[in-house]
Structure 1
Amino acid sequence: MTQHADVEKAAEPLDPSSRPGSPTKEEKTSPSTELELETRDAMIAPAPSTAAKGGLAAGADGQASNVLTSSDIINNNDDDDGDDEQAAGPRPWYRRFWQSEVPRSFYREALARYGGEGGLDAADDARIRRRLDLIILPLIAVCYAWYYIDKTTLSYAAIFGLKADLALTGDMYAWLSSCFYLGWLVWAVPANLLLQKSPVGKFLGINIVLWGAFLMAQGGVRSFAALVALRTISGAVESIADPCFLVLIAMFYRNDEQPLRIAAFYFANGVGFSAGGLIGYGIGQIDAPIASWRLIFLLVGAACLLWGLVIIAFCPDHPATFVGLCRDDRLRAVARVRDNQSGIATRRFKPDQAREAVLDHRTFLYLAIAFVSNAPNGILSNFGTLIVRGLDFSTLNTTLLQIPYGAIVVFWIGSAVWLNQRLPGQTRLLLSAAYMLPTIAGALGLLFAPQSSQVGRLWCYYLTSSFQAPYVLYLSIITSSVGGHTKRILTISASFIGFTIGNIAGPFFMHDDEAPHYRSGIVGILVCNVLEATFFLLLRASLVRSNREKEEQLRRMRDDGIDVVVQRDQTAQMDVTDRQNPYFRYSY
């Protein structure tokens, strides 16, 4: 069998048709079949060489144990298993359907052909980015709209008779909100570990189908206990949605492209909020043989289930297997994100990365930010309609008045991302802190404005929506400032543990005996908002300091004569963490 030439030295990779047993040029192969052939050939491919010399010298601070040595980079010694699978022949269809691993040889070829300075033509880069935007963003955005509508179904069901029909008293309604996130909390870490071993698009789609089915089942419940059980299970299957969205964005887009793409599907938050108001109003007009609140669960659940099937069919799992691109463009899609230096996708759980995630103080800061951001979300998404109805609006007018709230969410997110794209330097966390000011003002207004000021209090309620924009920018920090696949998965898990605890705790700040003012809930929103702004500034200070340390480390490497350009391309195809990788740079 003929061996591959070293892809670091070869001007062009071997023609696939020259491989024994490979398809001829005239034969078409699917991405999964190509990857099987590459996996087999990778077993005999020599390790890439490099012109780099010298080692990564330990600095005065003694941090050499936290970074890769030069021999690690030369030999790609990151214990990745991408080339460990031999394919004796075509695998069964179900193995191809669930393929999640990409052979290292694909990364090597991508960087050999399109890596380095000027390796990727700007026109090709823009064309591929447009193609990704056209396919990935609508799939995620529509999913996210239904995702948010799903979260507000309980709120609309409450004003259409759910409480009376199921005889809910005391804190029973608050528990219906919180049990959803209890299921999320229990299943979040196992689900994220399964995500590491699964094709992300298909795993996402299957969970959306399940969540739609369980949402429909909630329309048929006859007791509080049955609804608690179904909402807990629904929370568990929905827990994987946000991590999947973030993994997709991190996998397909450069760091500087990620805030706008995350904002694109978070725009759907506002669309979902407005659409939920229209759906609630429309269902309220239907003279159906079943209660309106049951119809809400049935219709929204059916729509989620159908969209899950669309996700399974069309959502890509990885740039290397994306059927929406030809093979050369798949290579370009892999090469274009090399400067992220965030590590390649791998199925192997790496204990050293897990240990680093647990010991990294920023992991706990991400968790804290997620908590203080989502405690108010737990209040507003479940009690927003009750706050508005408490301003003496009718039930149907209350549903309609949710539409401007959603439109204002779109404005906040759009303006924050627009400013982030145009302001010089790195401004994500500074903007995040600044965008907390309107929601703080809104909470103060709800606390102190007279109850007779109906319009003024309504606008204060609308102002509280600005907290959604900082959360979008914060999510883009996680996707672009955490390296290593295992570490990223666990950091995202930690963030969404904070998310779930916040959404569990939030509703318990709202007490029925305080209606319609809900003073304790509004105070809870205010305190969380102030803490969130403070945490953003602390996180920024930490990331700025780490970047300065890495710049100093890189200066010492250059002084030692290390070819940093060659090594940077090598680390792009290694699964290493942000702390281990001297070329990684944090976004803030």
Structure 2
Amino acid sequence: MEKLRNVCHLIERGKCSEVISISFRAPSSVKTIPSDGPFYEPNTMAPELTKSDIAATAQARSDDDEFDFSNAPKVPDQFADESFKLFSKIQVTDPTPEEANQIRKKCLWRILPFLCIGYHLMYVDKQTLGSSAILGIMTDAHLNSNQYNWLSSIFYFGYLLAEWPQNWALQKFPVGKWLAGNLIIWGGITLLHIPCNSFASLFVVRFFLGLAEACIVPAFLLSMSMFFTYGEQAVMMPIMWSIGNASPITSGLLSYGVLWINTGSFSPWKWFMVITGVLTIIFGVFVYWLFPDSPLHADFLTYEERAKAILRIKENHSGIEQKLFKRYQFFEAIQDPKTWLFFLHAWSQEMANGITNQYSLIINSFGFTVLQTTLLGTVTGIVSFFSLGSAAIALYHTKNCRAWISLVAYIPGALSSILLLALPWTNRWGLISGIWIRSTTGVPYAVVMIWAANASAGHTKKTTVIALYHIGYGLGNIISPQLFQPRWKPRYRPTWIILLVVAAILPSIVIIILRVYLSQENKRRDKLEATKQVSGNGIIETTDSDGGLVTRVVDNSQMDLTDRENLTL
């Protein structure tokens, strides 16, 4: 235990570079190979050992009949996953079911509340503009409809511009600390809305708000992948989004409350900004002190539990973290067809998200008063909460149903456009029902986003896929507000037609293609595994004090391999 504690301290300080023993899955014997042994090129698949090396190492490892050197990937130690630093120093047995359950509960209670609160605050903050539209910002800042739409779009220009740098930073720096810094900055920028009294000043503030927000969702996804299995993530994501997308309840009640505050020139929308900005800053401070950067730095776990927390999720076969940017993984990500299918889904699905900042204006246009609008807007949050909660329950009790659950959720989204196109303008309750049921489309966004992250392995590749997914998200949100052109008021018929085709039918087709493509790939891998052409272990090379090359046989999850390199995924 004392050795394990010392190793964790070294890892936390970034000083654990010397490798002296073997990892968990394989027996502990090693073989030193001459320094002129096999060479690894990071932009290619790892080469095999030479026959003499295989023979020598096999003789030293005669007790391990299951290990197949001919199919084993091989990397130098600096390319290995961060968990290799720990498991190369100490040996820890796999957690028992009771231990695994205890660790899972600790992680859930410590991490899930931060993710849920973070998502909720993120959506409340994103809806500040939409809520402010009926609280006086249009008058105070002298905005017309086109300018209001551009304030929605410019936020996502900032988001789009920062998406890649933010994901790069999340790989290079501690995830929790970088997330906290962005949250505090985000809350501060929210407060900067208050002195704005023109389109130009709001335009600048909204742009910088997008720069800060680009970090939030990728940071949450990376944190989930470090602590939880893929099955757990699939259930957790809808739970988090159900709480996040319930934000119209909070926004509506806050809007209703600030309407009763009478402070002269300090309009109700400014009080809305004060409340949301301050809450975000406070949350960022809590994240800085309490949210872990990775399992290796999770102070709510004992040192032994930190190691076993990594072993608990080894079924993911994707490790936890790698601070080195790997160019070959970046290029593999952008050459992978499924990356662009996920990108296309994000873009098309988010083409409908511009309605978020239009809800209040549209509901108000149906003939409801401002006070009624603030309360009726909360129903969208209620629908989101129950639909995403139902998706989480369905995912918990089923297997391999992400695609079908997502497709079912698009049906109300399509029906929404049909109702808004077909119903007479006098049927305001039917029209508002069309607005409310559209909220079910939050289900495929949450489900497919975690699907994209789970379907990719290798830390650089995973962060690239996540970044591209959110670039698609940003592009959709840039275009979406422009669909609500003033000349199409009040019915917005062209808007609902576009959203029916692009934001309901097209993403449904993409999901079907993804399902077929990934199913075929899984069948191919199953055939390779059945014929023993897939190895669950790999080789990490280190150099000893004499300059000799030492090989370590480790589980694939410690090697930071991509999903194309690690066929056990």
Q: TM-score range by the shorter chain?
A: 0.7 to 0.9
Amino acid at match of 1:78: V
Amino acid at match of 2:153: S
1:181 to 132, 156, 168: 156
Q: State how 1:25-36 maps to structure 2 within 5 Å.
A: 33-35=9-11
Could you say what secondary structure the match of 2:78 adopts? coil
Give, in whole Å, the separation in 2 of the partners of 1:36 and 1:295: 42
Please tell me whether residue 156 in structure 1 is matched to residue 126 in structure 2.
no
Give, in whole Å, the separation in 1 of the partners of 2:185 and 2:316: 34
Could you say what secondary structure the match of 1:442 adopts? helix
Q: State how 1:52-71 maps to structure 2 within 5 Å.
A: 71=49
Could you say what secondary structure the match of 1:209 adopts? helix
2:78 to 81, 84, 93: 81
Q: Which residue in 1 is equivalent to 2:229?
A: 254
Higher relative contact order (CA 8 A, sep 6+): 2
Change in 2 beyond 3 A, CA 1:37/1:455: closer
Amino acid at match of 1:184: Y
- Deviations 1:379-412, CA, capped at 9 Å, x for gaps: 2211011111111100111010111210110111
1:240 to 200, 203, 215: 215
Change in 2 beyond 3 A, CA 1:403/1:36: closer
Could you say what secondary structure the match of 2:352 adopts? helix
Per-residue deviation, 1:513: 2.6
2:404 to 405, 430, 440: 430
Q: Which residue in 2 is equivalent to 1:374?
A: 350
Give, in whole Å, the separation in 1 of the partners of 2:143 and 2:126: 19
Please tell me whether the aligned partners of residues 39 and 105 of structure 1 are also in contact (alpha carbons under 8 angstroms).
no
Give, in whole Å, the separation in 1 of the partners of 2:12 and 2:190: 39
Amino acid at match of 2:3: P
1:463 to 434, 437, 455: 437
Change in 2 beyond 3 A, CA 1:67/1:581: farther
Q: State how 1:399-418 maps to structure 2 within 5 Å.
A: 399-418=374-393
Give, in whole Å, the separation in 1 of the partners of 2:73 and 2:83: 13
Change in 2 beyond 3 A, CA 1:46/1:128: closer
Amino acid at match of 1:579: R
Q: Which residue in 2 is equivalent to 1:57?
A: none
Q: State how 1:505-584 maps to structure 2 within 5 Å.
A: 505-527=479-501, 528-557=503-532, 564=536, 570-584=555-569
Please tell me whether residue 106 in structure 1 is matched to residue 93 in structure 2.
no
Amino acid at match of 2:178: F
Percent identity between the two aligned chains: 26
Q: State how 1:2-401 maps to structure 2 within 5 Å.
A: 16=3, 33-35=9-11, 39-40=15-16, 42-46=17-21, 50=26, 71=49, 77-81=74-78, 102=82, 104-108=84-88, 112-114=91-93, 119-289=94-264, 290-377=266-353, 379-401=354-376
Q: Which residue in 1 is equivalent to 2:428?
A: 454
Please tell me whether residue 484 in structure 1 is matched to residue 462 in structure 2.
no
- Deviations 1:70-123, CA, capped at 9 Å, x for gaps: 65997973345278xxxxxxxxxxxxxxxxx9462313467x423xxxx32111
Could you say what secondary structure the match of 2:261 adopts? coil
User: How many residues were matched structurally?
Assistant: 521
Structure 2: gaps (5+ residues): 30-42, 51-67, 540-552
Could you say what secondary structure the match of 2:192 adopts? helix
Root-mean-square deviation (Å): 2.6
Give, in whole Å, the separation in 2 of the partners of 1:50 and 1:418: 37
Q: Which runs of 4+ in 1 moved over 3 A?
A: 36-40, 46-52, 65-77, 107-110, 562-569
Per-residue deviation, 1:531: 0.5
Q: Which residue in 1 is equivalent to 2:542?
A: none
Per-residue deviation, 1:443: 1.4
Structure 1: gaps (5+ residues): 1-13, 18-27, 53-64, 84-100
- Deviations 1:26-65, CA, capped at 9 Å, x for gaps: xx87x8624258944x51415669579xxxxxxxxxxxx9
Give, in whole Å, the separation in 2 of the partners of 1:318 and 1:479: 17
Per-residue deviation, 1:486: 0.2
Per-residue deviation, 1:291: 1.1
Could you say what secondary structure the match of 1:120 adopts? coil
Give, in whole Å, the separation in 1 of the partners of 2:479 and 2:311: 43
Per-residue deviation, 1:357: 0.5
Q: What TM-score, normalized by structure 1, do the two folds share?
A: 0.84
Give, in whole Å, the separation in 2 of the partners of 1:501 and 1:571: 36
Give, in whole Å, the separation in 2 of the partners of 1:548 and 1:524: 37
Per-residue deviation, 1:557: 2.1
Please tell me whether the aligned partners of residues 188 and 496 of structure 1 are also in contact (alpha carbons under 8 angstroms).
yes
Per-residue deviation, 1:220: 1.1
Give, in whole Å, the separation in 1 of the partners of 2:112 and 2:248: 19
- Deviations 1:425-478, CA, capped at 9 Å, x for gaps: 411112111211111111111111111112111111111111001111112212
- Deviations 1:242-272, CA, capped at 9 Å, x for gaps: 0001101111100111111112221222331
Per-residue deviation, 1:422: 1.7
Give, in whole Å, the separation in 1 of the partners of 2:145 and 2:440: 31
Give, in whole Å, the separation in 2 of the partners of 1:449 and 1:108: 66
Change in 2 beyond 3 A, CA 1:32/1:113: closer
Change in 2 beyond 3 A, CA 1:563/1:199: closer
- Deviations 1:542-573, CA, capped at 9 Å, x for gaps: 11111111112212226xxx875789962011
Give, in whole Å, the separation in 2 of the partners of 1:306 and 1:564: 45
Per-residue deviation, 1:479: 2.4
1:497 to 467, 471, 475: 471
Give, in whole Å, the separation in 2 of the partners of 1:82 and 1:165: 55
Change in 2 beyond 3 A, CA 1:66/1:551: farther
Give, in whole Å, the separation in 1 of the partners of 2:297 and 2:79: 14
Give, in whole Å, the separation in 2 of the partners of 1:46 and 1:331: 15
- Deviations 1:215-242, CA, capped at 9 Å, x for gaps: 1001111221111001100100110100
Give, in whole Å, the separation in 2 of the partners of 1:259 and 1:134: 17
Per-residue deviation, 1:316: 0.7
Give, in whole Å, the separation in 2 of the partners of 1:189 and 1:274: 32
Please tell me whether the aligned partners of residues 333 and 464 of structure 2 are also in contact (alpha carbons under 8 angstroms).
yes
